[in-house]
């Protein structure tokens, strides 16, 4: 059964989900709950009886207008402890949450859906990623200067986001790129590394990224560069595109 209260939506998942802490199994369930606490992605709640670790109350309470009062617990399994990494909502106005435990995703060392590891957060079942080859001409400009010009892009369409145009590095003015220490992680694509652009002595931080070793389902963009549509000017076949407004900029 699906339910919603305020901005929080809950629905049952159908994948086997496991979480580990320092090699010790914390939870193993065939009945996970997908809970959209934020609009962009869900988190996993696990039925209490499917948690094998000890949950130790801390006495702290985290209040949510939609979920009610969350009782904070430490997670203890074997010699490992994750402080404050579990929340229970025994009196939640959302009935499904009353017998479930929210495990803090980054506090766990490993998460699995079936037998495949997942990263960053659970995959949203309503998010689709399509990567299509194209011969449309993509021109990227920054401060009036062309920084990339390609007629062989891969266009990535991801639910809820504007199209992203991935182009060969040989079609980018690489002399303008400066390596950045920034990395981001995507549950659908993998780990991205970044460059900044230097144009006429102006530094545009972290506007270009690349997935050098993306996940198998995103191999089409391996080694290609992409620019934030929100921060640069992009033309398709000579038509200037509006800059989109997203949470990325």
pLDDT recorded at residue 1: 61
Checking phi first, is residue 95 left (phi over 0); if not, alpha (psi -120 to 50) or beta? alpha
Domains detected in the chain: 3-118 (2.170.150.40), 129-240 (2.170.150.40)
- At 49, is the secondary structure helix, strand, or coil? helix
**Of 79, 75, 74, nearest to 22 (Cα)?**
79
At residue 6 the predicted structure's pLDDT band, cuts being 50, 70 and 90, is low
Average pLDDT, the chain: 95
pLDDT recorded at residue 11: 96
For residue range 57-89, list pLDDT tens digits in order: 999 999 999 999 999 999 999 999 999 999 999
Q: Compute how many other C-beta atoms are within 10 angstroms of the C-beta atom of residue 242.
A: 9
For residue range 100-147, list pLDDT tens digits in order: 999 999 999 999 999 999 999 999 999 999 999 999 999 999 999 999
- At 119, is the secondary structure helix, strand, or coil? coil
pLDDT recorded at residue 53: 98
For residue range 135-179, list pLDDT tens digits in order: 999 999 999 999 999 999 999 999 989 999 999 999 999 999 999
Phi, psi of 169 (to 5 degrees): -60, -30
Q: Is the pLDDT of residue 3 over 80?
A: no
**Of 210, 155, 148, nearest to 174 (Cα)?**
148
CA distance 202 to 235: 22
At residue 38 the predicted structure's pLDDT band, cuts being 50, 70 and 90, is confident
Percent of the chain with pLDDT over 90: 93
- At 98, is the secondary structure helix, strand, or coil? helix
**Of 73, 89, 81, 83, nearest to 35 (Cα)?**
89
Stretch among 2-6, 181-185, 213-217 having the lowest mean pLDDT: 2-6
Q: Compute how many other C-beta atoms are within 10 angstroms of the C-beta atom of residue 191.
A: 15
At residue 249 the predicted structure's pLDDT band, cuts being 50, 70 and 90, is confident
């Amino acid at each position: 059964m699906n339910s919603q209260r305020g901005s929080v939506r809950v629905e049952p998942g159908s994948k086997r989900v496991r979480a580990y802490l320092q090699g010790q199994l914390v939870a193993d369930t065939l009945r996970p709950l997908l809970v959209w606490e934020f609009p962009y992605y869900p988190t996993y709640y696990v039925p209490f009886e499917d948690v094998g670790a000890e949950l130790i109350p801390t006495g702290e309470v985290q209040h949510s207008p939609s979920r009610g009062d969350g009782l904070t617990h430490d997670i203890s399994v074997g010699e490992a402890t994750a402080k404050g990494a579990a929340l229970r909502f025994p009196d939640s106005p959302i009935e499904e949450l009353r017998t479930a435990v929210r495990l803090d995703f980054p506090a766990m060392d490993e998460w699995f859906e079936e037998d495949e590891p997942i990263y960053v957060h659970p995959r949203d079942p309503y998010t689709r990623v399509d990567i299509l080859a194209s011969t449309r001409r993509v021109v990227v400009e920054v401060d009036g200067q062309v920084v990339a010009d390609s007629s062989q892009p891969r266009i990535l369409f991801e639910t809820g986001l504007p199209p992203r145009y991935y182009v060969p590095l040989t079609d980018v003015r690489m002399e303008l790129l400066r390596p950045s220490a920034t990395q981001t992680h995507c549950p659908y694509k993998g780990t991205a590394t970044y460059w900044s652009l230097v144009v006429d002595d102006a530094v545009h931080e972290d506007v270009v990224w690349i997935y050098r070793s993306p996940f198998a389902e995103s191999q089409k963009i391996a080694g290609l560069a992409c620019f934030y549509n929100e921060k640069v000017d992009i033309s398709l076949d000579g038509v200037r595109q509006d800059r989109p407004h997203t949470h990325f900029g």
